[in-house]
Amino acid sequence: MQFVVKTRLISPVAFAAMCVSALAFTDASASHAVAASLTRSVDVRATPAAVWSMIGPFCAIKDWLPPVGTCADDGKTPPTRTLVTKDGKATFVELQTRRDDARHSYSYAFVSSPLPVTDYNSTIKVTALRNGMARVTWTGTYVPALGKEKDAKDALSGIYQSGLDEIKAKFAKP
């Protein structure tokens, strides 16, 4: 197979512009991470108000998310909480971005986190079901670090599931 290449002279400025454009395109396509989302929920035998009274306070997360050892709220509006794991090896700083006590929900975003994600935003919401039941739904959107998509999903799935399992267990006790 033969290729015929026609040549022509171009200015150094045009050549530089082409190179920059090519590099920008290559860099953007090589480092472009795709946004991801995650939703987990659990049904509990309690009213939404009862569940919300336990999980609704921003730092109550230390009482229902097993890996969390401490939670410190900065007392500002909107609040920022600092979570430290029980083993002391990880710290999360989270800013509450929305709160609706009447609808039993709040949203927050990572300010800093050891997880391989950026642009993390999450909502925890409690809704009514029939027969004295409530559903707790935890959703999140994030951009996983390139090459760490599975690690990010696995970590967040594990966090969500452990928290929801603990909430269910707390309301299953007589």
Q: Which domains does the chain have, with CATH numbers?
A: 34-172 (3.30.530.20)
Measured over the CA atoms of residue 63, residue 73, residue 52 and residue 49, the dihedral's sign is positive
Decide: helix, strand or coil at residue 167.
Answer: helix
5-9, 52-56, 75-79, 153-157, range with the lowest pLDDT: 5-9
Alpha carbon of 110 to those of 19, 92, 117, 118, 142: distances in Å?
37, 7, 9, 8, 10
75 in the Ramachandran plot: left (φ > 0), alpha (ψ -120 to 50) or beta? Answer: left
pLDDT (average), residues 122-138: 96
Kindly report the average pLDDT of the chain as a whole number: 86
Decide: helix, strand or coil at residue 4.
Answer: coil
Rounded Cα distance between 116 and 145, Å, is 5
pLDDT, one tens digit per residue, over 11-55 is: 444 333 333 344 344 344 445 679 999 999 999 999 999 999 999
Q: What is residue 125's predicted lDDT score, i.e. its pLDDT?
A: 98
Rounded Cα distance between 28 and 121, Å, is 23
Rounded Cα distance between 66 and 22, Å, is 48
pLDDT, one tens digit per residue, over 57-90 is: 999 999 999 999 999 999 999 999 999 999 999 9
User: Tokens for 122?
Assistant: 């999450």
Q: Rounded to two decimals, what is the model's pTM?
A: 0.80
Q: Tally helices (H) and strands (E) across the chain.
A: 4, 7
Q: What is residue 33's predicted lDDT score, i.e. its pLDDT?
A: 76
